[in-house]
Amino acid sequence: MTDGIFPSTATAPGARKDLSLGAVRERLAGAPGRAYWRSLEEAAATPEFEAMVHREFPQLAGEWQGDGVSRRNFLRLMSASVAFGGLTACTRQPLERIVPYVAQPEEIVPGRPLYFATGMERDGYAVGLLAESHMGRPTKIEGNPEHPASGGATDLFAQASVLDLYDPDRNQTVTQLGRIRTWRAFEEAIAGRLAAAPAGLRLRILTPPVTSPTLAGLIATVLAEQPLASWHQYAPVAADHGIEAARRAFGRAVAVRHDFSRADVVVSLDADFLTQGPGAVPYAGQFMSRRRARRGATDLNRFYAVETTPTATGSVADHRVAATTGELGAFAAALAAAVDGGTPGGGRLAELAAVVARDLERHRGRGLVVAGPHAPVAVQVIAHGLNEALGNVGATVSYHEPVEAEPQDGLASLARLAADMSAGQVDVLLVLGGNPAYDAPADLDFAAAMQKVETCIHLSLHADETSEYCHWNLPAAHYLEAWEDHRAFDGTVTLTQPLIEPLYGGRSAAEVLTLFTAAGPRSGAELLQATWRRRLGDGFDAEWRRCLHDGFVPDTASPALAAPLDAGALAAARADLAKLPAAGLELCFRPDPTVYDGRFANNGWLQECPKPLSKLTWDNPVLVSPALAEERGLVNEQKVRLTVDGRSLEAAVWIHPGQPDGALSLSLGYGRRRSGRVGTGAGFDANRLRTTANPWAAPVDLEPLAGRYPLASTQLHSNIAADRFQGTNLEGREAASRHLIRQATVEEFERQPDFPHHVGHGLDESLSLMPGWDYSEGHAWGLSVDLNTCMSCNACVVACQAENNIPVVGKDEVAKGREMHWIRIDRYYEGALDDPAMHHQPVMCMHCEQAPCEVVCPVAATVHGDEGLNDMVYNRCVGTRYCANNCPYKVRRFNFFKYTDTETPSLEMMRNPDVTVRGRGVMEKCSYCVQRISQARIAARKEDRRVRDGEIRTACQQVCPTGAIVFGDLNDETSRVARLKAEPHDYGLLTELGTRPRTTYLAKVGNPNPEWPARASGAGESPHHG
Do residues 929 and 803 lie in contact, with contact meaning Cβ atoms separated by under 8 Å?
yes
Choose between 89 and 199: whose C-beta lies nearer to other proteins: 89
Nearest residue to 642 via CA among 703, 591, 592, 596: 703
Of 540 and 874, nearer to other proteins (C-beta) is: 874
- 267 vs 857, which CB is nearer to other proteins? 857
The pair phi, psi for residue 728, each rounded to 5°, is: -95, -10
Chain-centroid distance of CA 724 in Å reads: 33
CB of 82 to other proteins, least distance (A): 8
Backbone angles phi, psi at 891, to 5 degrees: -100, 0
User: In this complex, which beta carbon is closest to other proteins, that of residue 725 or of residue 747?
Assistant: 725
Give me the least distance between CB of 593 and other proteins, in Å please. Answer: 18
Least distance between other proteins and beta carbon 228 (Å)? 48
Q: How far is the CB of 790 from other proteins (least distance, A)?
A: 14
Q: Collect all residues with Cβ–Cβ distance below 8 Å to 445 and sequence separation of at least 6.
A: 418
| Whether 140 contacts 803, CB under 8 Å | yes
Torsion angles phi and psi, residue 679, rounded to 5: -90, -25
Instruction: Provide the minimum distance between the beta carbon of 97 and other proteins in the complex, in angstroms, as a whole number.
Output: 5
C-beta of 298: minimal distance to other proteins in Å? Answer: 29
Shortest distance, position 915 Cβ to other proteins, whole Å: 6
CB of 530: closest distance to other proteins in angstroms?
A: 32
Partners of 122 in beta bridges: 125
DSSP per-residue letters across 102-157: SS--TT--TT--EEEEEEEEETTEEEEEEEEEETTEEEEEEE-TT-TTTTT---HH
Identity of the residue, 816 or 1015, whose beta carbon is nearer to other proteins in the bound complex: 816
| Residue (615 or 672) nearer to other proteins, CB | 615
The nearer residue to other proteins, 104 or 1017, going by C-beta atoms, is: 104
Q: Which helix (H) or strand (E) holds 200?
A: none
CB atoms within 10 A of CB 96: 5
Of 784 and 841, which has the nearer Cβ to other proteins?
841
Q: What minimum distance in Å lies between the beta carbon of 87 and other proteins?
A: 5
Residues contacting 469, CB < 8 A, separation 6+? 25, 437, 447, 450, 451, 456
Q: Cβ-count burial of 825 within 10 angstroms (0-12 exposed, 13-18 middle, 19+ buried)? A: buried
For other proteins, give the closer residue by CB, 888 or 984: 888
CA geometry: angle 540, 114, 149, nearest 5 deg: 65
Distance in Å, CB of 849 to other proteins, minimum:
5
Cβ of residue 578: shortest distance to other proteins, in angstroms?
Answer: 44
Residue 434 in 3-state DSSP? coil
Closer residue to other proteins in complex, CB, 253/873: 873
Residue 204 Cβ vs other proteins, minimum distance, rounded to whole Å: 44
Amino acid, single-letter form, for residue 228: L
Nearest distance, CB of residue 729 and other proteins, angstroms: 10
State the Cα–Cα distance between residues 275 and 792, nearest whole angstrom.
9
Residue 41 or 992 having the CB closest to other proteins: 992
Rounded to whole angstroms, the Cα distance separating 128 from 120 reads: 7
CB of 890 vs other proteins, minimal distance in Å:
4
Least CB distance to other proteins at residue 62 (A): 9
| Distance separating alpha carbons of residues 623 and 660, to the nearest angstrom | 10
CA-only gyration radius of the chain, Å: 29
Sign of the C-alpha dihedral computed for residues 168, 668, 470 and 177 taken in this order: positive
Instruction: Supply φ then ψ for residue 191, to 5 degrees.
Output: -55, -50
Angle separating helix axes 567-579 and 377-389, nearest 10 degrees = 140
Rounded CA separation 137/143 (Å): 18
Q: How far is the CB of 508 from other proteins (least distance, A)?
A: 28
Buried-exposed string 230-255: b where 16+ CB fall within 10 A, e elsewhere:
bbbbbbbbbbbbbbbbbbbbbeebbb
Nearer to other proteins, 546 or 758 (CB): 758
Nearer to other proteins, 334 or 930 (CB): 930
Based on CB atoms, which residue is closest to other proteins, 283 or 889?
889
Q: How far apart are CA 638 and CA 651, in angstroms?
A: 8
DSSP 344-405: --SHHHHHHHHHHHHHHHHTTTSEEEEE-TTS-HHHHHHHHHHHHHTT-BTTTEEEE--SSS
DSSP 914: T
Instruction: Report the distance separating Cα 1020 and Cα 536, nearest Å.
Output: 55
List of E strands, 197-318: 203-207, 230-233, 255-258, 265-269, 302-307
Do residues 422 and 448 make contact, with C-beta atoms less than 8 angstroms apart? Answer: yes
Q: How far is the CB of 837 from other proteins (least distance, A)?
A: 15
Which residue, 944 or 973, has its beta carbon nearer to other proteins? 944
Closer CB to other proteins, 17 or 945, in the complex = 945
Query: Of 695 and 1026, which CB lies nearer to other proteins in the complex structure?
Result: 1026
The count of other CB atoms within 10 Å of the CB of residue 30 is 9
CB of 862 to other proteins, least distance (A): 9
Measured distance CA(430)–CA(459) in Å, rounded: 8
Q: Among residues 323 and 848, whose Cβ is nearest to other proteins?
A: 848
Give, for 1022, the enclosing helix (H) or strand (E): none
